[in-house]
């Protein structure tokens, strides 16, 4: 049983490779975060080391060990792996980590048939690390397979990409996520629908949110803040902008999340106003959306969506975060422009 | 699991397997040591997935069982206990190991033994036996010449060729080559060549330091594993995959100058010169002069550093052939000279750009080839 959901293209290709015995020595799995890259990588690792009749069977010793992260021949290297003693979070995958992998790749498998090295977040490899990996990536020892996972292969050196077989993983359909959540009985049906929509086709995120209520609570807080800010005055807005800017210098991702949430929200407004209320993301807030939508014209919403997108782009390009966010706040449309 | 054993034995056992415990690892359980009852003994095992060391110690077993516990924690605790009887018991529900010795008591949380990577069993392949003294010599004389960086993986290992009743160990790192031949106590059935990681051989050498019995070796190139059986200890090493370069063509067939030098004097002169060579990329220059009718031959060892200064050392030598000038990296000379047990060594050279060969005088089972450095004389 392949554990990964959807991704039929990638799975079919890998299955065919397995059947023909023409497994590539290195794969590059590209897809947004939480879409199932690691699951697919572990699926492949299990298929390669499975002792059952139908790899990956999921029930033999090897499959279970790999699933539990206890197999000696399946090594996952990422930012937080290979404890270097001082537990300092690393900013990149270092050349030392790559050297460890190379050393181990020259030895035969310890208990299984294939050694599988998974590099989680391959785009986080330092330049030296990536260059150091090239030789091994090109012609690893027999029975060694590298699987690189990345959400953005455009920042990987072309030399690395060209040495791998590239497989793209795509977001799932909302209905597919909802079915899985219901089948696995992770959450109650209404919550399953909400999570399926919120996750944007990334099943991993939905499962994370199902297991951890904090994520939804944070979202509720952010939405509350959004409503306050849009109905508040410029003082409050500037306050919020400066707080976000301070946050940005600590953690870029969290501000991007806020912008993404705003984008979803204003997109929903647009949909509600156009009468396509069924396709909105924030299904649990429909009443609030309908209410808020009355205050704005389509053109206003559309132009603010553009502002949010522009702000996100400018932040990525290292513009002054405070200025960008203040401009965004100034662009919040005024009510009553129907 | 319930058993008791002596603190000294347990402490020694833990230090034997301790070196195989993984330091940096992606598999946390390899930081642990496996404790398992094996008939009337306690088996300790650790692995870093490159090699695995198992050690058996005498114990009074009351109840069978197995568990893994953090290796460092356990060995530090056991090491600080008085030399008395240690009672070990495992509570299977909580996976907690209880230790009791004299008036000390400790509980250590363990991890299920079935999650521990299985220690490979080496079967099939060829089996043989080596006298421990010969093996010690052999390892000590070649292992340092293996490469430490990973760009050519096969060079990080020691090439071992088992043929008839002869074992040839060879290591090279691109600048030097060490070849040692030693007799096998039991001839092998067929010629077998494997590359054993230098780290594992280094560990083996440490383990056999205090042993007198011959070491049994079992090699299975197909599975890529080698087993060394010592008294109460077993070391399994993964073998490096690949082909070792054919080094026989690197050994010069002839020479124009041959100097026989006292090892002690040569080592002292090289070490002294290395102090000055430190800033000058380690270059140590040798000038070999044959003796006249009244004067003995000599070797002049010198080094200079542009900023600091220079030094010259002179040693007596029996020189055959013509005068020769050659420069080496001082470290490569001191490395090999410091492992030689013999009194004299011969240095054979042809010209400043071809390799020098060092051989201990009186035995013909070891040779060491060092690449020269190019210098302006």
Distances (CA, A) of B185 to A14, B216, B228: 51, 9, 14
From chain A, pick out residues whose CB is under 8 angstroms from the CB of B28.
Answer: 83
Read off the pLDDT of each residue in A166-177 and give the average, rounded to a whole number.
92
Mean pLDDT value across chain A: 88
Residue A185 has pLDDT above 90, yes or no: no
CATH architecture designation of domain A212-330 = Up-down Bundle (1.20)
Give B36→chain A minimum CA distance, Å.
19
Q: Let me know if the fold of A8-168 is the same as that of A212-330.
A: no
The shortest C-alpha distance from B115 to chain A (Å) reads 7
What distance in Å separates the CA atoms of residue B111 and residue B28, rounded to the nearest whole number?
10
- How much of chain A is helix, strand and coil, in % rounded to 5? 60, 10, 35
H or E stretch including B261?
strand B257-262
Residue A335 pLDDT: 75
C-alpha span between A196 and A203 (Å, rounded): 8
Report the distance separating Cα A202 and Cα A224, nearest Å.
Answer: 24
pLDDT attached to residue A25: 92
* Bridge partners (DSSP) listed for residue A150: A30
pLDDT at B291: 86
Element (H, E) at B197: strand B192-197
Question: Reading across the β-sheet that carries B366-370, which strands appear in turn?
Answer: B192-197, B157-163, B166-172, B176-183, B366-370, B356-360, B344-349, B257-262, B309-321, B297-305, B283-289, B324-329
Specify the pTM: 0.83
Alpha-carbon gap: A82 to the closest alpha carbon of chain B (Å)? 5
Task: Give the pLDDT score at B26.
Answer: 79
Among candidate residues B205, B160, B213, B166, the one with its CA nearest the CA of residue B186: B166
Residue B331, classed as helix, strand or coil, is helix
Instruction: Look at residue A236 and tell me whether its pLDDT is greater than 60.
Output: yes
Residues B7 and B87: beta-carbon distance below 8 Å: no
Statement: residue A308 has pLDDT above 80: yes
Pairing of strands B344-349, B356-360: antiparallel
- In the prediction, which pLDDT does A160 show? 94
- Do residues A70 and B29 touch, judged by C-beta distance below 8 A? yes
- Give pLDDT < 50 ranges for chain B: none
Q: What is the CATH number of domain B2-115?
A: 3.10.150.10
Where are the domains positioned within chain A?
8-168, 212-330
Q: Does residue B90 contact residue B2 with C-beta atoms inside 8 Å?
A: yes
Cβ distance of A68 and B115 shorter than 8 Å: yes
Query: Among A162-166, A309-313, B3-7, B151-155, which is the least confidently predicted range?
Result: B151-155
Which of B115, B117, B239 comes nearest A108 by C-beta?
B239
> What does residue A162 show for φ and ψ, rounded to 5 degrees?
-70, -15
Q: Please list every residue in chain A whose beta carbon sits closer than 8 Å to the beta carbon of residue B120.
A: 110-111
Most B CBs within 10 A among A64, A69, A70, hence the mutation to make, goes to: A70
Q: Quote the pLDDT of residue A294.
A: 86
Of B48, B49, B88, nearest to B71 by C-alpha is B48
Q: A297 CB contacts (<8 Å, ≥6 apart)? A: A337, A338
Q: How large is the ipTM?
A: 0.79
Q: What is the mean pLDDT of residues A249-276?
A: 89
Which residues in chain B (225-264) have CB-CB distances under 8 A to chain A?
A: 225, 238-242
The residue among B27, B29, B125 with the most chain A CBs within 10 A of its CB, best to mutate, is B27
Query: What pLDDT score does A135 carry?
Result: 87
| Option in B26, B29, B240 nearest A107 (CB) | B240
Residue extents of the structural domains in chain B: 2-115, 126-248, 252-370
Contacts across the A-B interface (CB distance below 8 Å): 66
Min CA distance, B8 vs chain A (Å)?
A: 30
- Topology classification of domain B126-248: DNA Polymerase III; Chain A, domain 2 (3.10.150)
Of the candidates B74, B99, B64, the one whose C-alpha atom is nearest the C-alpha of residue B18 is: B74
C-alpha span between A71 and A110 (Å, rounded): 9
Specify whether the CB–CB gap between B93 and B107 falls below 8 A. Answer: no
Do domains B2-115 and B252-370 share one topology? The answer is yes
Q: What are A41-81's pLDDT values in tens digits?
A: 999 999 999 888 777 888 888 898 898 888 989 999 988 76
A8-168 fold: Rossmann fold (3.40.50)
Radius of gyration of chain A from its Cα atoms, rounded to whole angstroms: 23
pLDDT digits (tens, 9 = 90+) for A70-110: 898 999 998 876 554 455 567 889 898 898 888 888 888 88
Chain A positions touching B27 (Cβ under 8 A) are: 70, 72, 75
List chain A residues with CB under 8 Å of B47. 110
Helix/strand/coil (H, E, C) string of A78-89?
CCCCCCCCCCCC
Task: Measure CB to CB from residue B117 to each of A72, A77, A85 and give the nearest one.
Answer: A72
Whose tokens are 């992606």? That residue is B26
Provide CATH code, domain B252-370.
3.10.150.10
């Amino acid at each position: 049983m392949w554990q990964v959901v959807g991704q039929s293209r990638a799975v079919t290709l890998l299955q065919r490779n397995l059947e023909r015995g023409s497994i590539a020595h290195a794969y590059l799995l590209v897809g947004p975060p939480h879409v199932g890259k690691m699951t697919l990588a572990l699926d492949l690792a299990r298929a390669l080391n499975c002792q059952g009749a139908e790899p990956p069977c999921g029930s033999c010793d090897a499959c279970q060990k790999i699933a539990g992260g206890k197999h000696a021949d399946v090594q996952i290297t990422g930012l937080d792996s290979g404890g270097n003693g001082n537990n300092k979070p690393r900013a990149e995958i270092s050349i030392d980590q790559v050297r460890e992998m190379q050393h181990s790749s020259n030895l035969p498998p310890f208990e299984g048939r294939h050694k599988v090295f998974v590099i989680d977040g391959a785009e986080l490899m330092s330049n030296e690390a990536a260059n150091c990996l090239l030789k091994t990536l090109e012609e690893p020892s027999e029975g060694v397979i590298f699987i690189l996972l990345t959400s953005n292969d455009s920042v990987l050196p072309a030399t690395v990409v060209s040495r791998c077989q590239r497989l793209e993983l795509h977001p799932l359909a909302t209905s597919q996520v909802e079915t899985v959540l219901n089948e696995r009985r992770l959450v109650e049906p209404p919550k399953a629908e909400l999570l399926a929509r919120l996750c944007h086709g990334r099943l991993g995120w939905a499962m994370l949110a199902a297991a951890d209520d904090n994520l939804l609570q944070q979202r509720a807080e952010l939405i509350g803040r959004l409503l306050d800010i849009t109905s508040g005055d410029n003082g409050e807005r500037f306050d919020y902008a400066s707080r976000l800017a301070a946050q940005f210098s600590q953690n870029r991702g969290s501000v991007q999340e806020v912008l993404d949430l705003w984008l979803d929200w204003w997109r929903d407004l647009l949909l509600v106003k156009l009468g396509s209320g069924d396709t909105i993301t924030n299904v649990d807030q429909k009443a609030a959306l309908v209410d808020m939508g009355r205050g704005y014209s389509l053109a206003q919403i559309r132009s603010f969506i553009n502002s949010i997108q522009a702000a996100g782009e400018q932040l990525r390009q290292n513009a002054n975060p405070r200025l960008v966010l203040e401009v965004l706040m100034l662009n919040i449309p005024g009510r009553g422009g129907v | 699991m319930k058993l008791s054993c002596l603190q000294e034995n347990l402490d020694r056992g833990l230090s034997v397997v301790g070196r195989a415990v993984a330091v940096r690892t992606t598999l946390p359980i390899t930081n642990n040591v496996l404790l398992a009852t094996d008939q009337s003994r306690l088996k300790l095992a650790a692995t870093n997935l490159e090699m695995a060391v198992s050690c058996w110690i005498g114990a009074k077993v009351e109840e069978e069982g197995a568990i893994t516990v953090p290796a460092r924690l356990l060995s530090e605790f056991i090491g600080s206990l008085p030399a008395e009887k240690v009672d070990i018991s495992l509570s299977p529900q909580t996976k907690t190991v209880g230790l009791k010795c004299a008036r000390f008591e400790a509980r250590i949380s363990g991890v299920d033994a079935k999650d521990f990577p299985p220690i490979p069993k080496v079967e099939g392949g060829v089996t043989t036996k080596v006298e421990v003294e010969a093996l010690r010599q052999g390892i000590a004389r070649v292992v340092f010449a293996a490469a430490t960086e990973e760009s050519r993986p096969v060079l990080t290992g020691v090439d071992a060729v088992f043929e008839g009743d002869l074992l040839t160990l060879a290591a090279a790192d691109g600048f030097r080559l060490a070849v040692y031949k030693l007799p096998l106590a039991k001839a092998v059935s067929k010629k077998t060549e494997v590359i054993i990681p230098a780290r594992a051989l280094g560990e083996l050498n440490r383990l056999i330091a205090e042993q007198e019995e011959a070491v049994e070796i079992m090699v299975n190139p197909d599975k890529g594993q080698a087993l060394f059986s010592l008294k109460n200890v077993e070391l399994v090493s993964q073998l490096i995959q690949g082909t070792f370069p054919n080094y026989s063509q690197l050994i010069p067939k002839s020479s124009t100058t041959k100097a026989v030098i006292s090892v002690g004097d040569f080592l002292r002169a090289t070490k002294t010169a290395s102090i000055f060579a430190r800033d000058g990329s380690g270059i140590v220059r040798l000038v070999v002069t044959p003796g006249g009718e009244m004067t003995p031959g000599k070797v002049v060892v010198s080094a200079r550093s542009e900023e600091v200064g220079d030094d010259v050392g002179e040693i007596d030598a029996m020189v055959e052939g013509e005068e020769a000038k050659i420069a080496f990296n001082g470290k490569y000379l001191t490395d090999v000279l410091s492992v030689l047990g013999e009194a004299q060594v011969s240095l054979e050279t042809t010209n400043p750009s071809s390799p020098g060969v060092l051989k201990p005088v009186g035995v013909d089972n070891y040779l060491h080839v060092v690449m020269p450095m190019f210098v302006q004389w």
